[in-house]
Amino acid sequence: MSFPWANHYTPSHPVMKWMDEKLPLPRLVYNAVGAGYPVPRNLNYMWNFGVLAGFCLMLQIVTGVILAMHYAANAGVAFASTEHIMRDVNWGWMLRYAHANGASAFFVVVYLHIFRGFYFGSYKAPREMIWLLGVVIFLLMMATAFMGYVLPWGQMSFWGAKVITGLFGAIPVVGEPIQQWLLGGFAPDNAALNRFFSLHFLLPFVIAGVVVLHIWALHIPGSSNPTGVEVKSESDTVPFHPYYTAKDGFGLGVFLLIYCAFLFFMPNQLGHPDNYIPANPLSTPAHIVPEWYFWPFYAILRAFTFDIFFIPAKLMGVLAMFAAILVWFFLPWLDNSPVRSGHYRPMFKKFFWFGLIPTMAVLFYCGGAPAEEPYVMLSQIATAYYFLHFLVVLPLVALMEKPKPLPFSITEAVLGSDDEAKLAAKS
Amino acid sequence: MNRLIASVAVGLFFVLSALAAFVSGAYTAITEPAAETVEHAFHKTPKELHLASDGPFGRFDKQQLQRGFQVYSEVCSACHSLKYVAFRDLEQLGYNEAEVKAIAASKQVPGVDPNTGEANTRPGLPTDYFPSPYPNDIAARAANNNAVPPDLSLMAKARHEGPAYVYSLLTGFTSQPKALLERFPDAKTPEGLHYNPYFANLNLAMAPPLTDGQVTFADGSPNTVDAMSKDLAAFLVWTAEPSLDKRKQTGWPVLGFLLFATVLSYLAYRNIWAEKKAKH
Chain A residues inside the 8 Å CB shell of B18: 303-304, 320, 380-381, 383-384, 387
d(CA A159, CA A150): 9
Which residues does residue B121 pair with via DSSP β-bridges, in sequence order? B110
Which of A391, A397, A400, A411 to probe the B interface (max B CBs under 10 A)? Answer: A391
- Whether A1 shows a pLDDT value over 60: the answer reads no
Contact A377/B at CB under 8 A: yes
Given pLDDT bands bounded at 50, 70 and 90, which one contains residue B279? low
Q: What average pLDDT does chain B have?
A: 92
Task: Test B15 with A268 for CB contact under 8 angstroms.
Answer: no
> Is A281 part of the contact surface with chain B (CB cutoff 8 Å)?
no
pLDDT of residue A427: 62
Angle B122-B124-B128 from CA coordinates, rounded to 5°: 120
pLDDT recorded at residue B276: 81
% chain B with pLDDT above 90: 75
Phi-psi region of B192 (alpha: psi -120 to 50; beta: other; left: phi over 0): left
Active site residue A412: no
Strand partners, B120: B111
* Residue-level pLDDT at A30: 94
Residue ranges per domain, chain A?
37-421
Q: How confident is the model at residue B80 (pLDDT cuts 50, 70, 90)?
A: very high
Cis amide leading into A374 (omega within 30): yes
> Which of A87, A242, A391 minimises the CB distance to B7?
A391
User: Nearest-CA distance from B17 to chain A in Å?
Assistant: 7
Contacts of A303 in chain B (CB under 8 A): 18, 21
Closest CA to A298 of A383, A392, A357, A183: A383
From the list B7, B21, B158, which residue is nearest A334 (CB)? B7
Give the A window 315-374 contacts with B, CB below 8 Å: 316, 320, 323, 330, 333-334, 372-373
Beta carbons of A253 and B258 less than 8 Å apart: yes
pLDDT, tens digit, for every residue of B224-261? 999 999 999 999 999 999 999 999 999 999 999 999 99
* pLDDT, mean of residues A14-30: 95
Q: Which of A263-277, A399-413, B24-38 has the lowest mean pLDDT?
A: B24-38
- Across the interface, whether the CB atoms of B258 and A304 are under 8 A apart is answered no
| pLDDT at residue number A115 | 96
DSSP 3-state of A362 = helix
Band of pLDDT at residue B278, cut at 50, 70 and 90: low
Q: Find out whether the peptide bond into A242 is cis, omega within 30 degrees of 0.
A: yes
Segment among A70-74, A122-126, A166-170, B227-231 with least mean pLDDT: A166-170
Active-site residue identified among A236, A248, A274, A412: A248
Give residue B262's pLDDT band: very low, low, confident or very high (50, 70, 90): very high
- Alpha carbon B74 to its chain centroid, in Å, reads 21
CB contact under 8 A, A380 and B18: yes
Q: What is the pLDDT of residues B267-277, one digit of tens each?
A: 999 999 998 87
Per the CB < 8 A criterion, the answer to whether A321 and A300 are in contact is: yes
A392 touching B (Cβ < 8 Å): yes
B111: β partners: B120
Q: How large is the average pLDDT for residues A329-346? A: 94
Q: Over the stretch A109-150, which tens digit does the pLDDT of each residue have?
A: 999 999 999 999 999 999 999 999 999 999 999 999 999 999
What pLDDT does residue A312 have?
87
Class of domain A37-421: mainly alpha
pLDDT tier at B71 (50, 70, 90 boundaries)?
very high
By percentage, how much of chain A surpasses pLDDT 90?
86
Q: Does A373 qualify as catalytic in the annotation? A: no
B133 vs B216: CA distance, rounded Å: 23
Over range A388-398, report the average pLDDT. 95
pLDDT in tens, A44-53: 999 999 999 9
Report pLDDT for B39: 86
Q: How far is CA A373 from CA A302, B34, B56, B98, B220, in A?
A: 12, 9, 37, 59, 52
Q: Is A417 a catalytic residue?
A: no
pLDDT bucket at A361, cuts 50 / 70 / 90: very high
Average pLDDT, whole number, for chain A?
94
**Residue in B closest to A413 by C-alpha:** B278
Give yes or no for a cis peptide into A126 (omega within 30° of 0). yes
Q: Which whole number is the average pLDDT over A160-176? A: 90
Average pLDDT over residues A358-372: 93
- Yes or no, beta carbons of A256 and B3 under 8 Å apart: no
Give B-chain residues touching A377 at CB under 8 angstroms.
22, 25-26, 29
Residue A276 with chain B: CB contacts under 8 Å: 154, 157-158, 240
pLDDT, average across residues B118-135? 93
